[in-house]
Amino acid sequence: MKKSGLSPILNYNINTPIVFVAIVLFFIIFTPNHLFIDLRNLASMGKLIPDLGIVALGVGMLMICGEFDLSIASLIPLCSYVFATFLMKGINPALALIILLPVGAALGFINGTIVVKTGLPSFIITLSTMMFWRGVVFILSRMAPISITKYIKPYPYFEKMLTGTIGRFPLQVIWFVGIAIILGILLHFTKFGNWIFATGSSKGAARAMGINTNMVKTTCYIIIGVLCAVVGTLQSVRLGSFFATQGVGFELKTIAAAVVGGTSLRGGVGSMLNIFLGILIIKIIENGLILMKVPVFGVEAFIGLAIILFVIINNFTQRQMT
CB of 224 to another protein, least distance (A): 20
Please identify, using beta-carbon distances, which residue of 26 and 192 lies nearer to another protein.
192
Q: Tell me the C-alpha distance between 281 and 253, whole Å.
A: 12
**DSSP of 73-94:** HHHHHHHHHHHHHHHHTT--HH
Q: Which stretch, 102-110, 133-141, 170-178, 187-195, contacts another protein (CB under 8 A)?
A: 187-195
Q: Tell me the C-alpha distance between 234 and 62, whole Å.
A: 22
Q: How many angstroms separate the most distant Cα atoms in the chain?
A: 64
Q: Which stretch, 5-13, 115-123, 233-241, 246-254, contacts another protein (CB under 8 A)?
A: 5-13
Please identify, using beta-carbon distances, which residue of 2 and 153 lies nearer to another protein.
2
| 286-305: contacts with another protein (CB under 8 A) | none
Which residues is 79 bridged to in the sheet?
none
Q: Tell me the C-alpha distance between 217 and 115, whole Å.
A: 9
- Interface pick for another protein out of 195, 221, 243, 276 (rule CB under 8 A): 195
Pairing assessment for the beta strands 241-242 and 146-147 based on DSSP bridges: antiparallel
- Interface pick for another protein out of 194, 214, 241, 317 (rule CB under 8 A): 194
Residue 201 binds to another protein (criterion: CB under 8 A): yes
Which residues is 269 bridged to in the sheet?
none
Residue 316 binds to another protein (criterion: CB under 8 A): no
Question: How far apart, in Å, do the first and last CA atoms of the chain sit?
Answer: 10
- Interface pick for another protein out of 4, 11, 149, 315 (rule CB under 8 A): 11
Q: Which amino acid is at 298?
A: G
Residue 182 binds to another protein (criterion: CB under 8 A): no
Q: Which stretch, 72-80, 116-124, 197-205, 279-287, contacts another protein (CB under 8 A)?
A: 197-205
Q: Which helix (H) or strand (E) holds 180?
A: helix 171-189
Please identify, using beta-carbon distances, which residue of 123 and 192 lies nearer to another protein.
192
Q: Bin 316: left if φ > 0, else alpha if -120 < ψ < 50, else beta.
A: alpha
Integer-rounded Cα radius of gyration of the chain: 20
Q: Which stretch, 6-14, 29-37, 243-251, 295-303, contacts another protein (CB under 8 A)?
A: 6-14
- Interface pick for another protein out of 190, 300, 304, 309 (rule CB under 8 A): 190
Q: Which amino acid is at 255?
A: I
Residue 265 binds to another protein (criterion: CB under 8 A): no
**Residue 291: phi, psi to the nearest 5?**
-65, -30
Residue 142 binds to another protein (criterion: CB under 8 A): no
Please identify, using beta-carbon distances, which residue of 130 and 269 lies nearer to another protein.
269
Give residues in contact with another protein (CB under 8 A). 8-11, 189-195, 197-198, 200-202, 204-206, 208-211, 264, 268-269, 321-322
